[in-house]
């Protein structure tokens, strides 16, 4: 095993606001001058950063990164000392949206990093790695969620203890509702437990993060399948509201007629559940996986680690070996492990596969043979009905009006021989016992995740549409918000364009001990009224600030500090179930947080104060200042020259006043 920490190649910055020789402003319509003044003056616009808008669980990413870097300070007590550490304050901000930072810091494909505006400078901020760090510190320090001050007296049933159900239970418990979670399997966690191997999510971490939610008073009943062990009618009569987060627990089988009733053709869901229950000690000598997403990568890398169990002596049931592998207790003492040949197919070329690039790199390093641009067209079977080879053909695959169209290319057919064939092409709902809720075979919801035809039933996660774990967590939160409104007798209205956990400047002012007056947004010319937020317009719920609105010239080239990883090569994959990701050190976490550009929120750089030629932009007195209220504009001095806007790195200053 080799330990690597790749260093980013230093490249020159690729952007320029002005080119050599430029002497004219090309967009005078945005810079309306009359003599030495303009009718436009600075306003302070709190916008959503693209990382946050790209996060399906709506984490306040900018917020906890600003806390880690020391811009936003933890609240202080009467003695003037912080009430908690910087790390704990950042963790509490993070977990307002996501109660599983140690898990998601390991497995989330991090769409936030794809959206990060820092990509326009050199490379995204390592958001996922900072989340991982905070999750690890919280487990080590034993931090717990704060229980609600009062109970509502309302009872909510949550069906399914996966990421969506547990997220909803967590948010509802924080709001004071009594929550009971019903789980059909023996243990909670859903796909976090049964769909992701333990070397990616250690089971001690999973248990600890789930227990924190249960410690809020959430009741968990396992081994209870609603609709079978407990009727829907009985359950719905006992609770004020219900949330369905049953996931998509059935894997889609190969769409080949020959695959029906073929014992050694199984689904990825079946494969991973057997492995994660400890019932899969080995696989066939040759494994063929059909997929292309992260689940197919998990199947492939698990197979490489498990290896093939070779019998060293004659066993009476050798010819009846289950296609899903051996049960360890039956044959472990009489076997020896051998390496496994794993081939993974995808309808998309390798560079367009849906699997994350990170997981793809690991699979290739571990010796998985990935074949892109092919589609299964048949199976060759023996006289006993067992599959011997998957017949594939080159194909053209593209999305047409939201649907995947695949066209095999005639004359390119060939075979991939194997002993075990695994379908990782998607998942389906198991609605056994709940058919009355889904007359069309699926759970149909409105924009507030309320089940159509029911006032008090809400749905989230893969039960709606299989997607990311973080998507399920976010939908659990949004549904909990709507359930809370329903329980308070309020009708859920139209949701904001962006459902995110945003920085709240009013909370910061209250923490500072500042009494606020009535706030109407936007506020015009309020620099002489310290009891209100100075000329602030909050657009977190509807506007995502692009990198074009930032002054990128403020930021120097700073390579991303990558987490160290343990890469397993093809020769050493067998039997290796060691965790791969190594968390940041405290110094690495702070250094990476400092790369955040705080898009849409002041990070106190002083550019506007330094460059204002009229000395109209000034610092707020320290006793009144807090994050987001670091500067103000004296409108008696302001002439609307726009310089403060031009040099603002974060886009927090906009020239909107007077429009």
Options 1.10.1240.10, 3.30.43.10, 3.50.50.60, 3.30.70.520; which CATH number does 274-427 get? 3.50.50.60
Tell me the average pLDDT across 76-104: 96
Options 2.40.50.1070, 3.60.15.10, 3.50.50.60, 3.40.50.1000; which CATH number does 155-249+429-487 get? 3.50.50.60
For CATH 3.50.50.60, the residue range(s) in the chain are 155-249+429-487, 274-427
Give the per-residue pLDDT at 335: 33
Give the per-residue pLDDT at 552: 93
Tell me the average pLDDT across 397-415: 90
b/e per residue 524-547 (b: at least 16 CB within 10 A): eebbeeeebbbbbbbbbeebbbeb
Give the per-residue pLDDT at 12: 58
Burial class (CB within 10 angstroms; exposed 0-12, middle 13-18, buried 19+) of 266: buried
Give the per-residue pLDDT at 311: 42
Give the per-residue pLDDT at 340: 84
391 sits in which H/E element: strand 387-400
What integer best gives the mean pLDDT of the chain?
86
Q: Residues 267-326: pLDDT tens digits?
A: 999 999 988 888 876 777 899 999 999 999 999 988 888 886 544 433 333 333 333 333
Largest CA distance in the chain: 98
Question: Nearest-CA neighbor of 448 among 496, 400, 377, 402?
Answer: 496
Q: Residues 444-463: pLDDT tens digits?
A: 999 999 999 999 999 999 99
383 or 509, higher pLDDT: 383
Give the per-residue pLDDT at 424: 92
Structure tokens at 27: 């967009």
Among left, alpha and beta (phi > 0; psi -120 to 50; other), residue 294 is alpha
**How do the residues of the chain divide into helix, strand and coil, expressed in percent and rounded to 5?**
30, 20, 50
CA–CA distance, 449 with 483 (Å, rounded to integer):
10
Helix (H, G, I), strand (E, B) or coil at 336: strand
Give the per-residue pLDDT at 411: 95
Give the per-residue pLDDT at 605: 95
Is pLDDT at 371 greater than 50 in this prediction?
yes
Q: Residues 566-618: pLDDT tens digits?
A: 877 777 777 778 888 999 999 999 999 999 999 999 999 999 999 999 999 99
Tell me the average pLDDT across 16-31: 56
CA–CA distance, 41 with 656 (Å, rounded to integer):
6
How many Cβ atoms sit within 10 Å of the Cβ of residue 67? 25
Give the per-residue pLDDT at 319: 31
Task: Verify cis geometry, omega within 30 degrees of 0, for the bond prior to 483.
Answer: no
Q: Residues 223-241: pLDDT tens digits?
A: 999 999 999 999 999 999 9
Is pLDDT at 172 greater than 80 in this prediction?
yes
Tell me the average pLDDT across 167-176: 98
Question: Nearest-CA neighbor of 470 among 97, 66, 50?
Answer: 97
pTM of the model: 0.86
Is pLDDT at 35 greater than 80 in this prediction?
no
Structure tokens at 191: 């796909």
């Amino acid at each position: 095993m080799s330990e690597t920490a790749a260093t980013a190649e230093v490249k020159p910055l690729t952007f320029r606001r002005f080119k050599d020789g430029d002497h004219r402003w090309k967009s005078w319509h945005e810079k309306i001058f009359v003599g030495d003044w303009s009718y436009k003056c600075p306003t302070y616009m709190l916008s959503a950063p693209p990382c946050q808008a790209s996060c399906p669980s709506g984490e306040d990413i900018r917020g906890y990164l600003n806390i880690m870097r020391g811009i936003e300070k933890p609240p202080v007590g009467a003695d003037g000392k912080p009430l908690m550490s910087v790390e704990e304050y950042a963790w509490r901000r993070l977990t307002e949206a996501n109660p599983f930072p140690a898990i998601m810091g390991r497995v989330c494909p991090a769409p936030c990093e794809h959206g990060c505006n820092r990509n326009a400078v050199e490379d995204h901020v390592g958001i996922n790695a900072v989340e991982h760090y905070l999750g690890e510190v919280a487990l080590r320090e034993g931090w717990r969620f704060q229980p609600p001050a009062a109970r509502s007296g309302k009872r909510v049933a949550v069906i399914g203890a996966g990421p969506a159900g547990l997220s909803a239970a967590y948010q509802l418990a924080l709001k004071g509702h009594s929550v009971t979670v019903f789980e059909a399997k023996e243990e909670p966690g859903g796909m976090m437990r049964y769909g992701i191997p333990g070397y990616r999510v250690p089971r001690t971490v999973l248990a600890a993060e789930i227990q924190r939610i249960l410690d809020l008073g959430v009741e968990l009943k396992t081994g209870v399948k609603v609709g079978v062990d407990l009727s829907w009618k009985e359950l719905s009569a006992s609770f004020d509201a219900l949330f369905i987060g049953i996931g998509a627990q059935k894997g889609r089988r190969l769409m080949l007629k020959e695959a029906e009733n073929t014992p050694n053709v199984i689904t990825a869901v079946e494969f991973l559940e057997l492995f994660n229950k400890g019932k899969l000690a080995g696989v066939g000598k040759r494994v063929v996986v059909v997929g292309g997403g992260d689940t197919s990568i998990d199947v492939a890398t698990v197979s490489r680690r498990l290896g093939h169990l070779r019998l060293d002596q004659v066993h009476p049931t050798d010819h009846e070996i289950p296609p899903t592998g051996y049960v360890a207790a039956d044959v472990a003492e009489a076997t020896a492990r051998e390496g496994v040949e794993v081939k993974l197919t995808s309808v998309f070329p390798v560079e367009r596969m849906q699997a994350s690039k990170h997981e793809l790199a690991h699979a290739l390093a571990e010796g998985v043979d990935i074949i892109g641009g092919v589609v299964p067209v048949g199976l060759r079977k023996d006289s006993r009905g067992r599959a011997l080879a998957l017949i594939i053909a080159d194909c053209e695959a593209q999305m047409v009006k939201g649907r995947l169209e695949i066209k095999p290319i005639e004359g390119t057919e060939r075979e991939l021989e194997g002993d075990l064939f695994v379908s990782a092409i998607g998942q389906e709902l198991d609605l056994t016992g709940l058919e009355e809720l889904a007359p069309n075979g699926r759970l149909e919801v409105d924009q507030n995740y309320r089940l159509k035809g029911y006032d008090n039933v809400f749905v989230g996660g893969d039960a709606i549409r299989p997607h990311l774990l973080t998507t399920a967590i976010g939908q659990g939160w949004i549904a909990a918000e709507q359930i809370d409104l329903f329980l308070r007798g309020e009708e859920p209205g139209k949701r904001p364009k962006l459902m995110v956990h945003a920085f709240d400047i009013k909370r910061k002012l209250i923490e500072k001990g500042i009494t606020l007056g009535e706030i109407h947004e936007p506020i015009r010319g309020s620099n002489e009224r310290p009891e209100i937020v100075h000329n602030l317009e909050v657009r977190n719920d509807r506007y995502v600030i692009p990198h074009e609105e930032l002054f990128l010239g403020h930021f120097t080239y700073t390579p991303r500090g990558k987490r160290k990883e343990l890469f397993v090569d093809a020769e050493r994959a067998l039997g290796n179930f060691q965790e791969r990701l190594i968390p940041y050190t405290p110094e690495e976490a702070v250094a990476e947080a400092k790369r955040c550009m705080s898009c849409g929120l002041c990070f106190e750089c002083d550019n506007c104060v330094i460059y204002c030629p009229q000395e109209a932009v000034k610092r707020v007195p320290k006793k009144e200042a807090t994050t987001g209220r670091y500067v103000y504009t004296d409108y008696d001095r302001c002439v609307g020259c726009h310089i403060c806007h031009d040099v603002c790195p974060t886009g927090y200053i906009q020239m909107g006043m007077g429009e």
